[in-house]
């Protein structure tokens, strides 16, 4: 056995042990903040320093204990967004500010300022609907919209560690004494992790010393918070107690624990709060290790200690509203950087989605093939294995679109190469897949094997493109190839060079049907602290890894997507799946939930995990069908395929230690059930593609928690076992073994819901007991919707281009329905550059089904069937052109 393989086994076995990862008690900046904040030091805003610039209003904040000033800047942004930045007034050196995440410099709105006294400053936009009210002493901000919806620093948790000269460099006698003597004092400093921090056998030397930041937000009237992926936790954020916080720190956690707040593969420092009548968002733009505490307090009486000239009536708080209100406090803490926070004021969920996308971008429009089914395993052994699996899908009449190859397809884990024994002719293999109108995805990780004879390593080494260690040499760590160096994707030149590696003449054996999977990009380092890179490694610009850890994988996916676009000379859409991600990753492709386990509990937790990703901008998401680790029983595998068929990214995957589990290996009956689930996915492809169009142009999530579609229905606020696909379909996957009945909540008092198979219907605002057998997927169409489908399926999406369309029309209680269909060529950017696309809108009212708004063609009579039992009318063989305008009159 090779050394790397031995390392791989030990890492997999060890990584399940949570002890190799930190909890809050082991995180020094968390301990420091909690200790200092218990002393209640306060900050005061110096409102006599207010300065109004072209884009922002600034003023100083001073700590009453240290007397060191901070600079605060307030920006009003287009779309009802406020931005608050707090930095040192005069830092010893620049502090890291996250680049490249914001799609552009947001357009600012000039804020109008006014103050009645020296202790208050009010900033408003032109409309005056929103007020940013600053109280000077103690420093506090209230965001007012009719009433106070959010307060900042009302709990007094503003925290800012100023950069210091290292103890050994201090020149005054006083500082030399401080740095040298009292062993107990030095021991206490080490324990607090000021200049070095110990964890297990690792010592983190901090050149810049302590630099952490923190701030609290009080959300008035809010009890339901969501977001801050990625955690294997409930969709609604839970309260955190002492020593407990949601951790945002990208880590390779094999077989991660569920119902746990530890960080796993990705981080989006963005949460949403929702209550009746209002949705808010908080986007904390910081890429260093971040902790978030959530505290939903018992109801408290609203108290507004400012603007004495305002009466409660003027603020919209009459006697009926002057009552006990709930409140949730959120405390953000980051290891370094600056405070740069965006307040998204809604007021609706879809307003908040749009506001966040204005900052970070929308979901990339995917190529159509990527919405089909993907077949993956670590590893398909060789070309013959690929051919046999591909043939198995055809033999068993199961559609699929993409074959995947893991690390063993390369020559000794050297990316951009092929193992010539396993894959002697990769082009031939790809041409076979092309003949079936299918694609290939191969893996490309950020670690590069240390081998002077490996051209990728040699060229990167020559140009200085690797992350450096704190001594200035190339950082080296152990990963799949053994000793490896890590490309510094934070460097634009490295990204440009890396994107060039995908060019067909450079990537020998690749063709235009080959796409990419970025894995291990947290980055994973087998013998590193918490299985990742040391925080004092050095990146482009001389920034320490600690400053930007959470954005490393984001940059690799960015470079990969740009490479696939570049190889086609800008004509073709890329497909890139990444394991590690950050805010804005949606612009570059898809994300999955990582190394899950073949267990019912992981199937169940995948739903809230994907809902959380979806509402934080990443619509193209999924979980490995069947569970990556372990061997699923046949019933679990069937249920997972049924769930995965109704989730945006649909891939079966398994680790190499598992038994083979292609869909036809579990007996005839189970093969049939899996086939039916996959075929239903393909039948719904027109609807899926239209949903991705809306995600791309309007930031509308594809998987939606019920509260998004029904924001005034309290019963939906905590639901996470069912969800909406777009606005038309409600899905309740079966996630319990041997289930014979599921309780489905059908929301909306004025809604009608139809079982998608039986057409039985119910009025909304009720729970319904639905009998389920192993062939049952509880899916319900919302009355008032039109869902476009394909009436026949093919071997892959490519075989279905010319297959007929159907419309599933479900009438509302008023007898009407609406829907739409988006079409383009499915692969190029012509929809954007040349506006070559088709967007049809359907409506049914008063017995007339309309495609667009004008009549086209001659009248024709068509056959129909009507079921009085289910009130179902079926029209067939209409021979209508989906691209033309027409009307169908039902008399």
Note the pLDDT of residue 878.
65
Report whether 21 contacts 530 (CB < 8 A). Answer: yes
CA–CA distance, 724 with 728 (Å, rounded to integer): 7
pLDDT for 867: 73
For 494-512, the pLDDT digits (tens) are: 999 999 999 999 999 999 9
Q: How large a percentage of the chain has pLDDT more than 70? A: 90
pLDDT digit string, tens, across residues 757-772: 999 999 999 999 999 9
pLDDT of residue 566: 98
Alpha carbon distance 199, 195 (integer Å): 14
pLDDT digits (tens, 9 = 90+) for 163-222: 999 887 765 444 444 443 344 344 455 678 999 999 999 999 999 999 999 999 999 999
How many DSSP H helices and E strands does the chain contain? 17, 50
Q: Give the H or E element holding residue 546.
A: helix 545-548
pLDDT in tens, 591-621: 999 999 999 999 999 999 999 999 999 999 9
Confidence band, pLDDT 50/70/90 cuts, at residue 649: very high
Q: What is the pLDDT of residues 398-427, one digit of tens each?
A: 999 999 999 999 999 999 999 999 999 999
pLDDT for position 8:
46
Q: What is the pLDDT of residues 439-448, one digit of tens each?
A: 999 999 999 9
The Cα–Cα gap between 596 and 602 comes to 7
Is residue 115 scored above 80 in pLDDT? no
Q: What is the pLDDT of residue 862?
A: 61
The pTM (predicted TM-score) of the whole model is 0.94
pLDDT score of 854: 36
Domains defined for the chain, CATH in brackets: 3-29+162-205 (no CATH), 41-159+211-235+247-348 (2.60.40.1760), 809-891 (2.60.40.1180)
Amino acid 188: pLDDT: 56
CA diameter of the chain: 100
Q: Are 123 and 112 in contact (CB under 8 A)?
A: yes
Per-residue model confidence (pLDDT) at position 167? 87
What is the reported pLDDT for 300? 56
Quick check: 515 and 564 in contact, CB under 8 A? yes
Q: Active-site residue 595, yes or no?
A: yes
Out of 121-125, 310-314, 338-342, 837-841, pick the least confident. 310-314
From the list 390, 522, 720, 824, the catalytic residue is: 522
Mean pLDDT across the stretch 671-676?
Answer: 98
Determine whether 522 is an active site residue. Answer: yes
Peptide bond into 230 cis (omega under 30): yes
Inter-residue contact 513 to 575 (CB < 8 Å): no
Determine which one of 125, 252, 289, 595 is catalytic.
Answer: 595
| d(C-alpha 558, C-alpha 574), whole Å | 11
Reference 689, options 363, 333, 340; nearest CA is 363
In whole numbers, what is the pLDDT of the chain averaged over residues? 91
Residues linked to residue 271 through DSSP beta bridges, in sequence order: 227, 282
Cis peptide before 559 (omega within 30 of 0): no
Q: Specify whether 519 is catalytic.
A: yes
* Phi-psi sector, 789: left (phi>0), alpha (psi -120 to 50), beta: beta
Three-class secondary structure of residue 458 per DSSP: helix
**What is the 3-state secondary structure of 126-177?**
CCCCCEEEEECCCCEEEEEECEEEEEECCCCCCEECCCCCCHHHCCCHHHHH
Q: In the predicted model, what is the mean pLDDT of residues 371-376? A: 98
Q: How many CA atoms lie within 13 A of 297 on its CB side?
A: 17
Beta bridge partners of 328: 219, 296
- Which pLDDT tens digit goes with each residue over 334-367? 999 999 999 999 999 999 999 999 999 999 999 9
């Amino acid at each position: 056995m090779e050394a790397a393989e031995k390392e791989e086994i030990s890492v997999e076995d060890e990584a399940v042990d949570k002890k190799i990862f930190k909890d809050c008690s082991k995180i020094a900046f968390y301990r420091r903040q909690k200790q200092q904040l218990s002393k209640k030091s306060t900050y005061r805003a110096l409102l006599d320093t207010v300065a109004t610039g072209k884009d922002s209003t600034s003023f100083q904040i001073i700590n009453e204990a240290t007397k060191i000033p901070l600079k605060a800047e307030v920006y009003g942004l287009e779309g009802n967004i406020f931005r608050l930045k707090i930095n040192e007034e005069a830092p010893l050196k620049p502090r890291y500010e996250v680049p490249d995440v914001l799609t552009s410099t947001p357009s600012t709105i000039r804020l109008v300022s006014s103050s009645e006294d020296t202790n208050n400053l009010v900033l408003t936009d032109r409309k005056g609907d929103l007020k940013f009210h600053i109280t000077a002493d103690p420093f506090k901000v209230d965001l007012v919209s009719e009433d106070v919806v959010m307060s900042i620093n009302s709990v007094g948790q503003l925290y800012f560690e100023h950069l210091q000269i290292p103890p050994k460099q201090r020149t005054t006698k006083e500082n030399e004494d401080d740095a040298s003597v009292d062993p107990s004092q030095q021991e206490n400093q080490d324990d607090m992790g000021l200049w070095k921090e110990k964890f297990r056998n690792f010592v983190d030397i901090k050149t810049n010393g302590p630099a952490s930041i923190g701030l609290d937000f009080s959300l008035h009237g809010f009890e339901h918070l969501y977001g801050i992926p990625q955690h294997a936790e409930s969709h609604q954020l839970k309260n955190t107690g002492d020593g407990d916080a949601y951790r945002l720190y990208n880590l390779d956690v094999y077989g991660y624990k569920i119902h746990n707040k530890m960080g796993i593969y990705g981080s989006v420092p963005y949460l949403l709060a929702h209550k009746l009548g209002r949705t808010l968002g908080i986007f904390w733009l910081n890429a260093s290790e971040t902790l978030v505490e959530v505290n939903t307090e018992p109801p408290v009486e609203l108290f507004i200690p400012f603007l004495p000239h305002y009466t409660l009536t003027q603020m919209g708080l009459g006697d009926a509203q002057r009552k006990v209100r709930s409140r949730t406090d959120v405390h953000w803490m980051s290891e370094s950087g600056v405070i740069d926070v965006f307040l998204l004021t809604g007021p609706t969920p879809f307003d908040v989605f749009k506001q966040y996308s204005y900052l970070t971008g929308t979901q990339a429009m995917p190529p159509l093939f990527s919405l089909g089914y993907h077949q993956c395993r670590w590893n398909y052994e060789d070309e013959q294995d690929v051919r046999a699996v591909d043939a198995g899908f055809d033999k068993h009449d199961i559609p699929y679109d993409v074959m995947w190859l893991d690390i063993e397809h390369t020559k000794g884990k050297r990316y951009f190469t092929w193992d010539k024994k396993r894959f002697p002719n990769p082009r031939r293999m790809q041409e076979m897949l092309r003949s079936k109108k299918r694609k290939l995805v191969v893996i490309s990780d950020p670690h590069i094997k240390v081998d002077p004879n490996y051209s990728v390593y040699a060229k990167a080494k020559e140009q200085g493109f690797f992350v450096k260690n704190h001594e200035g040499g190339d950082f080296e760590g152990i990963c799949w190839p053994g000793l490896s160096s890590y490309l510094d994707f934070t460097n634009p030149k490295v990204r440009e060079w890396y994107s060039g590696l995908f060019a067909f003449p450079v990537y020998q054996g690749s063709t235009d049907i080959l796409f990419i999977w970025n894995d291990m990009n947290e980055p994973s380092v087998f013998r590193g602290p918490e299985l990742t890179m040391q925080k004092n490694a050095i990146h482009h610009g001389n920034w320490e890894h600690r400053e930007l850890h959470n954005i490393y994988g984001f940059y690799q996916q960015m470079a990969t997507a740009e490479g696939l676009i570049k190889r086609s000379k800008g004509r073709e859409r890329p497909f890139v799946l990444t394991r590690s991600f950050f805010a804005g990753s949606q612009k570059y492709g898809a994300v999955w939930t990582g190394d899950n386990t073949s267990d019912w509990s992981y199937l169940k937790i995948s739903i809230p995990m994907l809902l959380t990703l979806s509402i934080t901008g990443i619509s193209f998401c999924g979980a490995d069908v069947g569970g990556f680790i372990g061997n699923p029983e046949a019933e679990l595998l069937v249920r997972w395929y049924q769930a995965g068929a109704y989730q945006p990214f649909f891939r079966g995957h398994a680790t190499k230690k598992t038994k083979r589990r292609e869909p036809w290996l579990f007996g005839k009956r189970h093969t049939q059930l899996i086939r039916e689930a996959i075929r239903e996915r393909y039948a719904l492809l027109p609807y899926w593609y239209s949903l991705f169009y809306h995600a791309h142009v309007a930031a509308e999530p594809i998987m939606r928690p019920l509260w998004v579609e029904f924001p005034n229905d309290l019963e939906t606020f905590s639901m996470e076992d069912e969800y909406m696909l777009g606005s038309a379909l409600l899905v309740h996957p079966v996630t319990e073994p041997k289930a014979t009945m599921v309780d489905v909540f059908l929301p909306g008092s004025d809604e009608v819901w139809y079982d998608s198979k039986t057409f039985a219907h119910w009025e909304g605002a009720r729970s319904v007991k639905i009998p389920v057998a192993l062939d049952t997927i509880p899916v319900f169409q919302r009355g008032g919707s039109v869902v476009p489908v394909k009436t026949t399926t093919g071997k892959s999406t490519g075989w279905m281009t010319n297959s007929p369309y159907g419309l599933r029309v479900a009438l509302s209680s008023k007898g009407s329905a609406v829907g739409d269909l988006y079409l383009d060529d499915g692969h190029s950017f012509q929809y954007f550059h040349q506006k070559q696309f088709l967007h049809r809108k359907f409506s049914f009212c008063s017995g007339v089904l309309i495609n667009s708004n004008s009549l086209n063609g001659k009248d024709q009579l068509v056959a129909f069937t009507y079921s009085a039992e289910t009130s179902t009318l079926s029209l067939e063989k209409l021979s209508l052109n989906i691209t033309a305008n027409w009307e169908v009159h039902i008399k």
